[in-house]
Structure 1
């Protein structure tokens, strides 16, 4: 996960934690405030109502009481307003009226009681009786008869005290003893005693508040009350219950506003954070780019240092590392260049050695070159060495090479002539773009020069020359064999003489070759062997790679040299079809046999330059993507330099589909060591000359070791091939090459 994403996530998490905490605290405080406010308002209303109803409570059925309560209830701030009776008072009229038979004025209640399970009844002293008693206390001379003059209605009242079972009222049977002037009766009257005198309720409305919010945040609103007294006795209680609808509406609005504000603040904060992070990470992206450049061998530096202290220090360290690695690689390149020149150059004559000749021949095969190959060999050099000192022998060899160089210098276009020393007395010449007459003229000049040198040293013969035309469809060993045959014929002609083969000496007729190659490719009548098993050299011997080697036979059932086969296929534009057929066979083999190691497939330069082939290859690998990472496509080093741009394009396409690239027969002559970093390679496989007899040659040891160190810096693995000598194998393993084939 990128640093920017981690920063966004952690900042968002911190913001969420802070907002959640503040939100919960805010909602909790608002909830508590609304609860207190609602309950306080309810208590104030209950107290106010109690005071308003006190003058009216003597007559609990007074309609003005209902009017006052309804007026307050209609405001909508209260869920319920309830007036409850606390003192159950009944009078004679109510009792007699309930009988409907004895309610005329002639009947009077003489006695009243209820069963004990319902409670008991006590008579309430009337105001008249209370006044009479008070006056008698003040003046003993006043007697009861004095009140007869007052026209005061004698009205009897009773207080019903219920048991706990009937404290909330109900249908209570009262037993009456009533009398008139003529008779006395006992009757039972049932009165509906009501505890709730008056009740007003309002619906709780939550139109703007969702149900989940109400369930999530319950409001605890207690019912408030106020007692109403009639004189010294509590007569009734007024109850007021707050309406939670208004509190929930305010609370939900507060929560919604908080969330909206938090969301807007979060978006703004994240936008600011995004701008800041992009600005902050810009130097890190430059550092990442620098690190990738270093991995690819491009040692750049960060010129504009960031202002952040820590990142600035990292940038300075990266710059320092880039410079130091560049110095190390440049030093390695110089050492490798020196060692490469030493390995490819004869110490005495400073002429290129056989390995360079083979390399140049490969280039001619690739470029479809024309010209002649000459073999020149000093006669009886060993006999000359027996009668002369080493210094004299070396002087003679130098004089001999100078004579050849002088002949070559006589030509204006001398750069097209390449001169090599194989070993001891054997030399080779490549005459590029030279026809038969050109080669004949050079041979004649060399013969004349050798004759003069023979006279100088008073010998009969100095050397003989064998020449053969370059055959694009042959191989280097076949060309050497042809020059050797010409040389042997030259020896038969005369002293210091030469023999030149012409194009009629070609082994096969080209028409026959074309028909043969077409038949093999179209019928897939070739075999694939898996050779050059490459094992890990550092730990246990683990099989890393095998090379898919193609073999085909001619009409005589003899193996066709693969170089000849490829050259003719390229000439007649069948090489792309051939490479496709090989790749298909290899993939089928890997899938069927469940191969776990890499398989190297050799490709021609024509194929990697062909867009249709690359498109076909991408689709083929994508279809078999489970083995893509085991496909290792090989191109020779001398093919790479012919079309560097095309090779880079091919590498990119192959890497995009998950396959890998190896450059085989790697030689510093083809790919300069300071340019190896320009190629996005996975592997290089050294030319076998670098590891042949490496245990005897310290220059080879130093060269291979430097190659390994340079490749490690560039994340490239180094393999070597055909290390057959046990001492060579031990030496290569000591150098810790990544992979060795035997």
Structure 2
């Protein structure tokens, strides 16, 4: 039993005892009062009546005496009126008992003493008789019965008021204890909150302060643990000198990128520093490290690269690998040449005559990572043989490599709304579908819809991201409106990916705020990559807080890929996070990945956010993630994307206003 209930029980019993004692005392006083009234009436009446009877008793007028006794008795106040003459022994008596509606148990309980008076009838010093009166207590019982009922009703009313008031008072006084209990439950779930209401009691106030301090200390400890996990994971997959991917990180990046659902066209390159040993011998390791760092920095900041998705790695010595998503239009070679030229112009390259070879080739379709590496090695050998510092492999024929053709095709898709939405389910730890992530695919006439990985890089290059994001949202609104009329509708959350360019555009934010209704916002989760959140504007950040206040939720995916400390995520109203699939793949065999994922789960749960895993493809991965305490899972091992039935724009024109 809780302290509040125990106190309520004890205090309630105490108040009932006190009120019961007060009730008994009042009833006892009522009884004494009525008995005094009865006795007083008897005494007064006997004295007065005896004086009235003295003359008739002296003349021995029995008829008058009897008449006077009858008059007194017929008033109904007396149960006995008796006159006994001392001269002739005559007795005049009237006696009767009148019924009453008062219960017999009450009469037996109260036992009112009737008023009894006996006096002598005198004339001077001469005695004529004796008068006896007994006051009838019928009226007193009835009045006392009514008073006792009223007193009991008042007692019950006061008992209820006192008990209820005591309950409210205890709830108010002991509210901090309930908050402390709630705080302890949150701490057990690694959710660190504060008790903001200041208790009035000194002891409870000290306890609340101690619990708040404990919450702060545990939160700091878990955040420090998360930062340590992040650093260890970062070190495991990144080169210490250049802070780009190392061999292990590059292998995982390339493997994940070449997956069918993840793939986007682009070009892959290898930068090989030829005279590495000579430079080291001539100028020392410090200069060589500075040169390698300068090369890596140039690759990480070159404007010709899409840095949100680009992969850069240093695998050994002076070898740098690069994969850049690219529409592979007629100008992609010029972009590669621009990168090569910017590397040649580096100060240390020119100062120390560093010699390097830069080879690249386009990648139109997913290929085995080992095959890509082998082809680049062959290109490198050819580049050395031909003494060319830049060599680009032959471009394979592909139907969608022309810039103008892409622009025409994407504009036509926007005009015709030629997209199709797919939904991939996300499951909680009990295998229930709690969310559906919406994927956009481009409709191909006579072919399967083209996945976003193939056409979105060109959407980004042509600055059409905002237009496509609006189109996707309009299509989703149609799905949502259609689903509302379905009795078996999906009741979970919908997840939509929004590009950083759209979020940073004020006109898009205004359109979004006006377009979506509160009910739609409450069913929606906007998802952005960790890289996107790291580069949003302050106004975008404020807008996200505003939208979350209206019911929308914010999700961050590709966690662990931006290279930034997780601390920056604390400034966003994060509802959930998704760990990048590269850390999920073969997690049952990768202890460092399991350690990283465990740390991320704790970091998100510490902030009161959910933590999900994406890209789950094996049952062994599911088992490990479940043991680590993951909140949800998504991947082909659980469910593949399925098309959403979207009614045509003409059918829905009267329901959805066109942009």
The alignment's TM-score, normalised by the length of structure 1, stands at 0.55
SS in 2 for 1:665: strand
Conservation of the 8 A alpha-carbon contact between 1:39 and 1:223: yes
Q: 1:513 aligned to 2:410?
A: yes
Match of 1:152 in 2: none
Instruction: Report Cα offsets for 1:570-591 as digits up to 9, x if no partner.
Output: 6464634532432552675598
Match of 1:616 in 2: 516
For the residues of structure 1 that align with 2:233 and 2:348, how far apart are their CA atoms?
A: 36
Shift, 1:553, TM fit: 0.9
- Cα 1:27–1:676 shift into 2, 3 Å: farther
Shift, 1:377, TM fit: 1.8
- Cα 1:7–1:699 shift into 2, 3 Å: same
Of 510-519 and 666-675, the range deviating more from structure 2 = 666-675
Please list, as runs of the form range in 1=range in 2, the aligned pairs for 1:242-391 lying within 5 A after superposition: 242=136, 280=173, 308-309=202-203, 311=204, 314-315=207-208, 317-347=210-240, 349-352=242-245, 376-378=269-271
- Cα 1:245–1:514 shift into 2, 3 Å: farther
For the residues of structure 1 that align with 2:423 and 2:167, how far apart are their CA atoms?
A: 61
For the residues of structure 2 that align with 1:345 and 1:583, how far apart are their CA atoms?
A: 42
Shift, 1:15, TM fit: 3.9
Residue number among 448, 462, 473 corresponding to 2:357 in the alignment: 462
Of 291-300 and 683-692, the range deviating more from structure 2 = 291-300
Long gaps (5+) in structure 1: 88-125, 128-158, 160-194, 205-210, 360-372, 469-473, 623-627
Please list, as runs of the form range in 1=range in 2, the aligned pairs for 1:12-31 lying within 5 A after superposition: 15=15, 18-31=18-31
Shift, 1:288, TM fit: 8.1
- Cα 1:719–1:326 shift into 2, 3 Å: closer
Q: How many residues align?
A: 568
Shift, 1:325, TM fit: 0.6
For the residues of structure 2 that align with 1:410 and 1:638, how far apart are their CA atoms?
A: 17
For the residues of structure 2 that align with 1:645 and 1:198, how far apart are their CA atoms?
A: 100
Q: 1:402 aligned to 2:297?
A: no
- Cα 1:47–1:21 shift into 2, 3 Å: same
For the residues of structure 1 that align with 2:366 and 2:544, how far apart are their CA atoms?
A: 25
For the residues of structure 2 that align with 1:508 and 1:358, how far apart are their CA atoms?
A: 33
Residue number among 538, 541, 547 corresponding to 1:644 in the alignment: 541
Of 37-46 and 285-294, the range deviating more from structure 2 = 285-294
Match of 1:720 in 2: 613
- Cα 1:493–1:681 shift into 2, 3 Å: same
Please list, as runs of the form range in 1=range in 2, the aligned pairs for 1:592-741 lying within 5 A after superposition: 592=486, 594=488, 598=492, 600-604=494-498, 606=502, 609-610=509-510, 613=513, 616-620=516-520, 634-641=527-534, 642=536, 643-654=540-551, 662-667=555-560, 669=562, 672-677=565-570, 681-695=574-588, 697-724=590-617, 728=621, 731-733=624-626, 735-740=628-633, 741=635
SS in 1 for 2:450: coil
SS in 1 for 2:207: helix
- Cα 1:729–1:402 shift into 2, 3 Å: farther
Shift, 1:30, TM fit: 1.4
Q: 1:549 aligned to 2:439?
A: yes
Of 268-277 and 678-687, the range deviating more from structure 2 = 268-277
Match of 2:328 in 1: none
Shift, 1:335, TM fit: 0.9
- Cα 1:39–1:726 shift into 2, 3 Å: closer
SS in 2 for 1:707: helix
- Cα 1:647–1:638 shift into 2, 3 Å: farther
Conservation of the 8 A alpha-carbon contact between 1:339 and 1:700: no
SS in 2 for 1:337: helix
Q: 1:562 aligned to 2:452?
A: yes
Conservation of the 8 A alpha-carbon contact between 1:228 and 1:236: yes
For the residues of structure 2 that align with 1:214 and 1:494, how far apart are their CA atoms?
A: 126
Shift, 1:306, TM fit: 6.9
Q: 1:443 aligned to 2:337?
A: no
- Cα 1:38–1:505 shift into 2, 3 Å: same
Conservation of the 8 A alpha-carbon contact between 1:720 and 1:739: yes
SS in 2 for 1:723: coil
Instruction: Report Cα offsets for 1:462-497 as digits up to 9, x if no partner.
Output: 3336799xxxxx9999xxx9xx99x98996997113
For the residues of structure 2 that align with 1:266 and 1:543, how far apart are their CA atoms?
A: 48
Conservation of the 8 A alpha-carbon contact between 1:296 and 1:678: no
- Cα 1:248–1:81 shift into 2, 3 Å: closer
Long gaps (5+) in structure 2: 123-127, 254-265, 326-331, 638-659
Conservation of the 8 A alpha-carbon contact between 2:183 and 2:194: yes
SS in 2 for 1:420: strand
SS in 2 for 1:346: coil
Match of 1:421 in 2: 313
Match of 1:79 in 2: 77
Q: Highest CA radius of gyration, 1 or 2? A: 1
For the residues of structure 1 that align with 2:365 and 2:53, how far apart are their CA atoms?
A: 128
Instruction: Report Cα offsets for 1:528-578 as digits up to 9, x if no partner.
Output: 3435x5463xxx766665544343413454423325467589646463453
SS in 1 for 2:77: strand
